[in-house]
Amino acid sequence: EKDGHDWFMRKEILEQPRAVADSLIGRRTPSGQLQLDEMRLADEELRDVDKIIIIACGTSFYAGMVAKYAIEHWTRTPVEVELASEFRYRDPIIDATTLIVAISQSGETADTLQAIRHARSQRAKVLAICNTNGSSIPRESDAVIYTHAGPEIGVASTKGFLTQLVACYLLALYIAQVKGTRFGDEIDEIMRHLEAMPDHIETVLGTAEQVYGLAAEHASTRSVLFLGRHAGYPVALEGALKLKELAYLHAEGFAAGELKHGPIALVEDGLPVLCVVPPKGRDQLHGKMLSGIQEVRARGARTICLAEEGDDSIEPYADALIRLPKVPVLLQPLVSIVPLQLFACELATVLGHDVDQPRNLAKSVTVE
């Protein structure tokens, strides 16, 4: 069932254009309005929500971090993102106008389930974003948005992550529509960008051979750093997690602006640093990222940069340059994570590890 691939993970990475397309089916009425019918949460209830807390673990937590940027920007509703395993131990401030969004691919993660139970005992409404029909997490939630990744068999989450991102974007846009925020006007435009994503992901999958070459070249490294900013920061964290779990390497993701506050001391000659470069926009994000890249390179790092098509400013500072399609900054994680997934999958393969069954890990973590 691996369709001729060596690993389920590789097959699942390649299935991402389809998984994202499936997650967008039926989300718009003929007049272009966004609909999330299956969700079972009334518009009046959503309109009353004045705070959102996202709870999740691992890769799903990083999807939640991206969601925070999107929800706050498009809906102006404050969002906290919390590791499910920490949530109930800090006496969180929750009431009937707090919406809890629990993100879980498997729907069986014990930490997330316990956090949901705690939130509901405090009268909060819980919306699950889940890939597994009828699993415990949607069953114990008030509402659910199902992702349409199809079964994810590789232990490392890939298409699960991308479809979680899509569900989070849809939720953000839906809240914007219901609340009538000023970004309501842009919903149509953002939806068109989302609908173009399967093609963009296909394009970025075209970098696979280049990425595999880079993975082979760096197979003897003992450590890899990942840098990102804004929505690219969770991507850096997720890229590092993939490498830890599959290649058993020291890998760390940082917000590029934090480098100078400590982590830059880690940089030494030959250290590979993967840099997720934000699109050139009106803000200063791009320029600041560029100076972060210059800083690490000046200290001997080998910079592997992921930057959008046509961004020439990166060329002088990139030892390797992987091209990304041009997309809005908030949606960039859907394309920028893909080369990082390919990198981890290939590096682990070169090292001779079992990519689908990494040591010490299970697909569903049903203990706290």
Active site residues: 363
Q: Which of residues 348-367 bind ligand F6R (CB under 6 A)?
A: 364-365
156 binds ligand F6R (CB under 6 A): yes
Closest approach, Cβ 12 to ligand F6R, in A, equals: 11
Alpha-carbon dihedral 366, 151, 336, 262, rounded to 10 degrees: 10
Q: Which x/- pattern, by CB under 6 A, does the window 240-269 give for ligand F6R?
A: -x---x------------------------
Among 98, 104, 177, 336, which residue sits at the site for ligand F6R (rule: CB under 6 A)?
A: 104
Nearer to ligand F6R, 126 or 293 (CB): 126
163 binds ligand F6R (CB under 6 A): no
Among 77, 109, 163, 303, which residue sits at the site for ligand F6R (rule: CB under 6 A)?
A: 109
Closest approach, Cβ 54 to ligand F6R, in A, equals: 12
Report helix, strand or coil for 1: coil
Q: Give me the phi and psi of 302, to 5 degrees please.
A: -95, 115
Nearer to ligand F6R, 221 or 364 (CB): 364
Nearer to ligand F6R, 238 or 308 (CB): 238
Q: Which residue is nearest to ligand F6R (CB)?
A: 58
Contact 226, 344 (CB under 8 A): no
* 243: its two tokens: 């490498």
* 336: its two tokens: 């920028």
- Per-residue HEC secondary structure of 15-55 comes to CHHHHHHHHHCCCECCCCCECCHHHCCCHHHHHHCCEEEEE
Cα 247 to its chain centre, rounded Å, is 20
Q: Which x/- pattern, by CB under 6 A, does the window 44-83 give for ligand F6R?
A: -------------xxxx-----------------------
Helices and strands counted in the chain (H then E): 14, 10
Closest approach, Cβ 367 to ligand F6R, in A, equals: 11
**Type of residue numbered 308:** E
Rounded CA gap, 179 and 258, in Å?
35
Give kind and range of the element (H or E) at residue 212. helix 208-217
Nearer to ligand F6R, 77 or 141 (CB): 141
Provide the binding-site residues for ligand F6R, judged by CB under 6 A.
57-60, 104-106, 109, 112, 156-157, 241, 245, 364-365
